[in-house]
Amino acid sequence: MADEKSPPSPTMDEEKDTTKKVDPTLAEHAQDADEALAVFQEFHGEVITLDEATNKRLLRTIDWHIMPIMCLVYGMNFLDKTTLSYASIMGIKTDLDLKGDDYQWLSSLFYFGYLAWEYPTNRLLQKLPLGKYSAACIVAWGVILSCFAAVSNYSGAIAIRFFLGIFEASVTPGFALLTSQWYTKSEQGSRVNFWFSFNGWGQIFGGLVAYGIAVGTDRHGSAIEPWKIIFLVTGLLTICLGALFYWVVPDNQLNARWLKKEDRVLALARVRVNQQGIGNKHFKLHQVKEALLDPMTWAFFFYALIADIPNGGITNFFSQLITSFGYTAEQSLLYGVPGGAIEVISLLGSGFLGQYTNQRLLCSTGGIISGIIGMILIVALPMSNNVGRLIGYYMTMASATPFVALLAMISSNVAGYTKKTTVAAIYLIGYCAGNIIGPQVFRPQDAPRYVPAEITIIVCWGVCLFILVFIWWWYKKENEKKAAIRARPEYTRLENQEWLDLTDWENHELVYVL
C-alpha cells in the first residue's frame, strides 16, 4: 500500500489541461482541504509506507472495533422500522381503531419524516462530529420507539412514526461515510454488504422475539398488549446500542481512543489510495452543483425510487402477505424468519463475488432477478400452493443486493465531501419516496392476494435492471476517459492530491469501482 512520491504541483496552465474545475494553486486548495492534510504536511513530502503485516494488523483492529457495533445498530435500524409489521397481526389495528387506509399511511409516515430530514441530516453529518452525532440520533430513535408503547390512538402513532423517521434518517448515510472514512475502496463493498446484511439478522431476531411474545402472552397473559412489548424491547435495546456506539466509534482516525498515536497516522495513510480523504467541514456550493449535474446522481435516485416501491410494500406487509398464503398469524411471524436468512446469504454472497470479480454491480443483479422470479411465483401459483408461494416470498428477499451495491458505490466512487453527502441525500430521498409509495399499492380491497401490487413490484424491478446496466456502462466509459487523460504527456498530479477534497470529476487519479 505504499504511495508513490508526488511530483511538484503543476502550474496554472498545466492544470487547465489536466483537471476539471480545479483551483490553480495548492495553497488555495489547502485552505478548505481534508482534515487529514495538516497531518501529512508535517512530513514535508515524506512517503509513509505500510508493509503487509502492519496493514493487516490495522485492518483487523478497525474491523473488530467498528464493524460489530455498526452491524448491531443496522440490524436494529431495520427491526425498529418493521416492528409495525409484527404489530399489525398482534392487535395494534384493533387497539388503535385503524380503519380503511390508516395502516398504509402509518407505514408511509415513517418515510415522510425520513424524507423531510434527509438533506438536513446529511449536512449535519458533514458539519458535526460524525461519531457523536450518529450516536445521539441512535439514542433518540430508541427513546421514541419505546414511547410507542404508550400510544393509545391513531394521532399518537402518526407522531411517533414521523419522528422515528427523522432520527433514523442519519443511519444509512452516516454508515456510508464511516465506511469510506476507514476502509480502502477494495474493502468497502464487502463491508457495506456485511453491515447491511444485518437487516436480515434483524428480521430473524424480530420474528423470533415477536413469535415468542405472541405465544407467551397467549398462554400466560400479560399486563400490557403484546404489540406494546415488541416496541419496548426493541426501543430499549436501541438505546443501549446507541450508548455503546458513542463510546466505541470515533469521529475519525485522529481521535480514535483505541488506536495508538502512531497507528492513527498509519490508519490515515492506508486509506490514501481512496483519493477521497476522511472528512471536510466546509460546505462547497460548486460540489453541490456538480452533484446535481452528474448523471449518476439521478441514476442512483431513480433506482432508489423505483426499487423501493417494492421494498416499502413488502417490508410493511410481509406478515400479512404470508397469512394470505394460508398460514395463521403466529405462523407468519415464525415463517418470516427464513426470509431474513435469505437476505443475509444473498448480500454476503453478492459482496464476496463482487470483490472477487471486481464487478460489484453486475454481481448484484442476481438478487433482483431472484426477486422478479419470486414475485412471479406468488402471482402465478394458485392459492392452494402455500409452500410454492412462500418460497417465492423468500426469493424476493434477495432483491436488496443492487441497492447495497449502489450505496457502496456512493462510498467508493463519489468524491468531494460536500458532493458525497449531497449524492447520498438525493439517493436516500429516492429511497424515502419509494417507501412512501410502496405501502399505498397494497390496497385493502385487493386483499388477500394483492395481485395489482405484486404486478407493480415485478414491473419496478424490471425497470431497475435497465438502470443498473446503464450505471455500469457509464462508469466503464468514464474510467476509459480518465485513463486517457492520465496518459497525456502534460498530465501532472498535485502534491497531496488525495487530501484536497477534490470531486471525482476533478480528480483523475480516482478510478471508479464497477
- Each residue's pLDDT tens digit, 221-264: 777 888 888 899 999 999 999 999 999 999 999 889 999 988 99
Q: How many domains does the chain have?
A: 1
Per DSSP, the three-state class of 183 is: coil
C-alpha cell at 500: 484536497
Q: How far is CA 193 from CA 184, 279, 304, 351, 465, in A?
A: 15, 22, 17, 6, 19
Question: Model-level pTM?
Answer: 0.83
C-alpha cell at 320: 400479512
- Residue 41 inside a domain? The answer is no
Q: How far is CA 337 from CA 207, 341, 442, 488, 510, in A?
A: 6, 7, 22, 56, 41
- Residue 78 inside a domain? The answer is yes
**Do residues 274 and 507 lie in contact, with contact meaning Cβ atoms separated by under 8 Å?**
no
Q: Residue 409: is it exposed, middle or buried by C-beta count within 10 angstroms (0-12/13-18/19+)? A: buried
Could you write out the DSSP letters of every residue in 459-510? Answer: HHHHHHHHHHHHHHHHHHHHHHHHHHHHTSTT--PPTTGGGS---TTT-TTP
- Residue 423 inside a domain? The answer is yes
**Do residues 189 and 412 lie in contact, with contact meaning Cβ atoms separated by under 8 Å?**
yes
- Residue 30 inside a domain? The answer is no
Q: How far is CA 279 from CA 33, 127, 285, 371, in A?
A: 9, 9, 16, 37
Phi and psi at residue 141, in whole multiples of 5°? -70, -30
C-alpha cell at 267: 490508519
pLDDT in tens, the chain (514 residues): 444 333 333 333 333 343 444 444 444 455 566 666 666 655 545 567 788 899 999 999 999 999 999 999 999 988 877 788 778 778 888 888 888 888 888 888 888 999 999 999 999 998 999 999 999 999 999 999 999 989 989 999 999 999 999 999 999 999 999 999 999 988 998 999 999 999 889 888 888 888 888 888 878 777 788 888 889 999 999 999 999 999 999 999 988 999 998 899 889 888 888 877 777 788 899 999 999 999 999 999 999 999 999 988 887 677 777 887 888 877 787 888 888 899 999 999 998 998 889 899 999 999 999 999 999 998 899 888 888 988 998 999 999 999 999 999 998 999 998 999 999 999 999 999 998 898 888 887 887 778 888 899 999 999 999 999 999 999 999 999 999 999 999 888 877 777 788 899 999 989 999 9
- Residue 1 inside a domain? The answer is no
Could you write out the DSSP letters of every residue in 127-154? Answer: HS-HHHHHHHHHHHHHHHHHHGGG--SH
C-alpha cell at 318: 410481509
- Residue 42 inside a domain? The answer is no
Q: Which of 78, 19, 5 is nearest to 47 (CA)?
A: 5
- Residue 190 inside a domain? The answer is yes
Q: What is the CA radius of gyration of the chain?
A: 24
Q: Write the Ramachandran bin of 404: left for phi over 0, alpha for psi from -120 to 50, otherwise beta.
A: alpha
**Do residues 218 and 118 lie in contact, with contact meaning Cβ atoms separated by under 8 Å?**
no
Domain housing 449 = 52-499
Domain of 117: which CATH number? 1.20.1250.20
- Residue 15 inside a domain? The answer is no
Q: How far is CA 173 from CA 115, 398, 419, 475, in A?
A: 13, 22, 13, 22
| DSSP summary character for residue 512 | P
